[in-house]
Chains A and B, each alone.
Chain A
Amino acid sequence: EPEVTQTPSHQVTQMGQEVILRCVPISNHLYFYWYRQILGQKVEFLVSFYNNEISEKSEIFDDQFSVERPDGSNFTLKIRSTKLEDSAMYFCASKTSGRSEQYFGPGTRLTVT
């Protein structure tokens, strides 16, 4: 069964550094998402991406964040100048079209020290 994959599974970085979280969505999916989940808290929407551009973004997704689909398979989330409060699980998800189910990846645990 196809699945969303994410790398790395755990990323440790120092405050102020830039990180890139990588995702490979399911191959025939057209819509891509990033979410985050701070430990013990709710999953929060960050951004959605369709047709090579951002469709929607939340208040969390400020200028510190950017997304890219550099080729036909990868979908990345870049966080510039990381802060301690960026420590969280980051989930990528993808779906086909319409109100269909989003498939989540296993997540990347980001730890900012």
Chain B
Amino acid sequence: GESVGLHLPTLSVQEGDNSIINCAYSNSASDYFIWYKQESGKGPQFIIDIRSNMDKRQGQRVTVLLNKTVKHLSLQIAATQPGDSAVYFCAEFPPGGGSYIPTFGRGTSLIVHP
């Protein structure tokens, strides 16, 4: 089937705004999801995760929402800062007990203007 998040959209925001980044995942059976941040020239960095038995999880300035009905994840970043500028992508993991191989999306480029 189609992979996670085929397109690479760009989201431009002003410093201090809240940002919402979306991801459509492909496997309705996936039970674990991670949002990653990737700055230019660097490896992916874990931001926040969520399991399929939850629909919301909050971290520091970030919130992930999971809508299993429509296979949709979102990442909300509060009070966005210039240091948040990066590509953000989600990863879905197959059901537990077996493979831990994630499927990644291409991501969204977040540009924060000071």
Q: Are A56 and B101 in contact (CB under 8 A)?
A: yes
Number of chain A residues whose Cβ lies closer than 8 Å to a Cβ of chain B: 21
Binds A, one of B9-17, B43-51, B60-68, B70-78: B43-51
Across the interface, A40 reaches (CB within 8 A) one of B8, B46, B93, B101, namely: B8
Nearest-Cβ distance from residue A94 to partner chain B, whole angstroms: 11
Q: In the complex, what residues of A have CB within 8 A of residue B56's CB?
A: none
Question: CA–CA, A45 to B3, complex, Å?
Answer: 13
Q: Which residues from chain A contact B96 at a C-beta distance below 8 Å?
A: 99
Q: B89, A42: Cβ atoms under 8 Å? A: yes
The size class of the interface chain B forms with chain A is 20 to 34
Q: Which residue of A lies closest to B93 (CB)?
A: A99
In the complex formed, the residue of B with least CB distance to A45 is B101
CB neighbours of B41 from chain A (8 A): 106-107
Tell me if B's interface is mostly helix, strand, loop or mixed.
loop
Q: How far is the CA of A102 from the CA of B32 in the complex (A)?
A: 13
Cβ contact within 8 Å between A42 and B3: yes
A12 at the interface (CB under 8 A from B): no
Q: In the bound complex, how far is the Cα of B102 from the Cα of A44, in angstroms? A: 8
In the complex, the answer to whether A43 meets B104 with C-beta atoms within 8 Å is yes
A55 CB to closest chain B CB (Å) equals 8
- B→A interface (CB under 8 Å): 3-4, 8, 32, 34, 41-46, 49, 89, 91, 93, 96, 99-107
23 interchain pairs, CB-CB under 8 A: A4-B43, A31-B100, A40-B8, A42-B3, A42-B4, A42-B104, A42-B105, A43-B44, A43-B91, A56-B100, A58-B101, A91-B43, A99-B32, A99-B93, A99-B96, A99-B100, A101-B46, A101-B49, A104-B44, A106-B41, A106-B42, A107-B41, A107-B42
> A: which residues have CB within 8 A of B?
4, 31, 40-45, 48, 56, 58, 91, 93, 99, 101-107
